[in-house]
Structure 1
Amino acid sequence: MKLYVEGGPASTGDHDLLVDSLSALSRTLVGITARALGSLDAEVTLSQYRTLVILASTAPLRTVDLASSLGVHPSTATRTCNRLVQRALVARHHRPDDRRVAWLTLTEVGKTLVGDVMRHRTAEIRRLLEATDVERPQTTANLINALVVAAGELTEESWWQRWEQSGP
């Protein structure tokens, strides 16, 4: 895959900088999502929330298809869905023509939760973008790093430096 920045193809250094920036942004977005879940008193783990997001965008799904989308064993997806069914966030439905297969969908409560978290996350990203002092960043990586810093997170380079110092 060739990356392009203003002025032409990206060099390996640009590619590495973009990868580092995206890694830091990923960490930032996970934090934003976790805080959104916490602020809504959702009592849903990040992996359970990921299940809800997949169901919001592709339901109805069979458990085996959900497991494939999540990259987990079907028994793991079943246990996750059992917990979400108990919390009334996911429902299992059987079709009259094949009662052996259960189809998973969000309940209205699950749909509302996903929508609330997405709106919270979008608002936070908008706030971060407004908080950056980058009017026109030189590169995509600069913009991403500015968003990471605006969120109060460490850039990838700084994170790894801290990680290196965190052990005995």
Structure 2
Amino acid sequence: MPDEAQATDPDSALVDGLAALSRVMVGLTARTLAGLGTELTLSQHRAMVLLAARGPLRTVDLATAIDVHPSTVTRTCDRLVRRGLVARRQGTTDRRVAWLTLTEAGRDLVGEVVRGRAGRIRELVRAAEPVSAATAVELIGALVAAAGEPTEDQWWRRWAGSAHREAGS
């Protein structure tokens, strides 16, 4: 329940709407994962998305990106390695450092989930009657940038680039 300060905040309705939209998006992702029969948790999916977007990462860097303890990422990735979705490689200069990367099966699964979720979002957009799509798009773009996330176009370009990098390894 909002407090009195929130009720007088001019951004309150926008923040509340975006918070609700956030719940919608998490739900869409969870339903997409379940619909594909992946048995992935949202946390496992998020780790895989970061590996897809940022390329090979050290365990500690993935933990920082997700904002969890490295031991949590180690356990999460142990499960993903056993399922053949993530590969763990020792560093060439420092064998104590493990690099995490998606396998081909992991990349395929992330792509399938992202495309499935985009389809569900498209259905929502078509069902909604936005007052001003241009204003909404600008706002969303600004929020994505503020969150430090790549745009969809940037994400897919990085996706394509990482496929070329991994193929050359």
TM-score (norm 2): 0.71
Paired with 1:111 and 1:45, the residues of 2 have a C-alpha distance of: 16
- Per-residue deviation at 1:126? 1.1
Partner letter of residue 96 of structure 1?
T
Q: What CA distance in whole angstroms lies between the structure 1 residues aligned with 2:66 and 2:91? A: 24
Residue 119 (1) aligns with residue 110 (2): no
What secondary structure sits across from 2:40 in the alignment? Answer: coil
The Cα of 1:122 is off from its aligned counterpart by: 1.0
User: Is the helix fraction higher in 1 or 2?
Assistant: 2
Question: Which residue, out of 61, 66, 70, partners 1:65?
Answer: 61
Task: Indicate the residue corresponding to 1:12 in structure 2.
Answer: 9
Q: Whose Rg is larger?
A: 1
Aligned counterparts of 1:136 and 1:59: Cα–Cα separation in 2: 36
> Which of residues 36, 48, 54 is equivalent to 2:50?
54
The residue aligned with 2:154 is: none
1:115 is paired with a residue whose SS is helix
Deviation (angstroms), 1:98 = 2.0
The alpha carbon displacement at 1:12 in A equals 2.9
Larger relative contact order, structure 1 or 2 (CA cutoff 8 Å, min sep 6): 1
Residue in 1 that maps onto 2:39: 43
Q: Secondary structure of 1:57's partner?
A: helix
Higher strand proportion, which one? 1
Structure 1 residue runs of 5 or longer lacking an equivalent are: 1-10, 145-168
Structure 1 counterpart of 2:72, which letter? T
From 77, 81, 100, the counterpart of 1:81 = 77
Q: CA deviation at 1:99?
A: 1.6
2:104: which partner in 1? 108
**Tell me, what secondary structure is at the counterpart of 1:99?**
coil
| Equivalent position SS for 1:37 | helix
Instruction: Give the share of equivalent positions with the same residue, in percent.
Output: 57
How far apart in 1 are the matches of 2:76 and 2:124? 32
Equivalent residues, number: 131
